[in-house]
């Protein structure tokens, strides 16, 4: 196989959750450009339609599906629709997530449940559903979970988010172990800060910009293009022996000087 062909996703069916904006929408386009047939899932169907149009304009094949990762029936129905259109999903980008900051003393039972239900249970639910179908079909696969540097180190005001993302890191390792014999690889990407709808108001503010300058060794936010390499590595044959890993993409934020 030629060197760069290893990174191709030609012939693969890629499911991206939370593909209606931000990292998910970007990676769905990247997967299509790498040759995959792409299934994009989220709750906001109007936004999915925009992403679908973009991908079709690029010459890609895409299916938009309604999907709420907190709801098993919704996840199963979305994966059914993906299979009916393109066949068994080979690669999952488990990206759907919410991310509001809240001080620990202000988090209600409902806030906690909502965070864990989306950011941890949702990742497990989609991974398990996709893995069951791969195993039944006797096919190899790759599951990529979007964690966060807040799953590896604490930041104030994010106890529920950090706990969920730390769970994603540990879930990734555990699933990698359980699924290795089925040739299903499970890895995570832990992004540092990238401006998306989740955080744009903060990073557009002077406070947000100062925070980045003072805490990120590279003194800037990440560009979504800088997540493409890790994603393609983990999704493609180039990463055939990589499983249970968490790739940190953060401009050095995690190793910032104490
Ligand atoms: P966005 O808010 O732009 O995207 C979040 C996506 O998740 C949306 O498409 C949203 O779609 C979807 N989503 C939320 N809840 C659900 C649900 N219950 N079911 C299905 N989809 C859902 O933010 P980002 O792109 O930044 O976030 C993507 C992932 O990256 C998240 O997991 C986040 O934690 C992680 N991350 C982001 C970082 C950053 O700096 N941006 C840093 C580290 C991690 P819809 O509302 O249409 O359902």
pLDDT in tens, 99-146: 989 999 999 999 999 999 999 999 999 999 999 999 999 999 999 999
Kindly give, in sequence order, each residue whose CB lies less than 8 Å from that of residue 83, ignoring residues fewer than 6 positions away.
89, 133
> 251: Cβ below 6 Å to ligand 1?
no
Kindly list the averaged pLDDT for each block of 10 residues, start to end, along the chain of length 258. 90 98 98 98 98 97 98 98 98 97 97 98 98 98 98 96 98 98 99 96 95 97 98 98 98 96
DSSP conformation letters of 71-102: -HHHHHHHHHHHHHHH-S--EEEE--------
Distance between Cα 98 and ligand 1 center (Å): 5
Distance between Cα 161 and ligand 1 center (Å): 12
Q: How far apart are CA 127 and CA 116, in angstroms?
A: 15
Q: Please give the model's pTM, rounded to 2 decimal places.
A: 0.98
Distance between Cα 17 and ligand 1 center (Å): 8
**pLDDT above 90 covers what percent of the chain?**
98
> 22: Cβ below 6 Å to ligand 1?
yes
Do residues 28 and 56 touch, judged by C-beta distance below 8 A? no
pLDDT in tens, 214-237: 999 999 999 999 999 999 999 999
Nearest one of 38, 35, 40 to 18, comparing CA atoms? 40
Q: How far apart are CA 95 and CA 17, in angstroms?
A: 5
């Amino acid at each position: 196989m030629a060197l760069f062909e290893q990174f191709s996703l030609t012939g693969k069916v890629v499911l991206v959750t939370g593909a209606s904006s931000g990292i998910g929408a970007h990676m769905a386009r990247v997967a299509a450009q790498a040759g995959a047939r792409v299934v994009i899932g989220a709750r906001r169907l109007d936004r999915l339609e925009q992403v679908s149009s973009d991908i079709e304009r690029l010459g890609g094949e895409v299916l938009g599906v309604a999907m709420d990762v907190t709801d098993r029936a919704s996840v199963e129905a979305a994966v059914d629709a993906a299979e009916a259109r393109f066949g068994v999903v080979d690669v999952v980008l488990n990206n759907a997530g919410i991310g509001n900051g809240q001080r620990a003393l202000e988090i209600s039972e409902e806030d906690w449940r909502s965070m864990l239900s989306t950011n941890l249970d949702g990742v497990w639910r989609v991974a398990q559903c996709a893995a069951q179908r791969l195993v039944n079909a006797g096919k190899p696969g790759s599951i990529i979970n979007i964690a966060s540097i807040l799953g590896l180190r604490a930041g104030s005001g994010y106890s529920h988010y950090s706990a969920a993302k730390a769970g994603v890191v540990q879930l990734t390792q555990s699933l990698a172990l359980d699924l290795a014999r089925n040739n299903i690889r499970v890895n995570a990407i832990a992004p540092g800060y990238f401006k998306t709808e989740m955080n744009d108001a903060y990073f557009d503010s002077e406070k947000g910009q100062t925070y980045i300058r003072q805490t990120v060794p590279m003194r800037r936010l990440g560009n979504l293009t800088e997540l493409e390499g890790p994603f393609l590595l983990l999704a493609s044959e180039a990463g055939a022996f990589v499983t249970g890993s968490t790739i940190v993409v953060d401009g050095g934020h995690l190793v910032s000087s104490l």
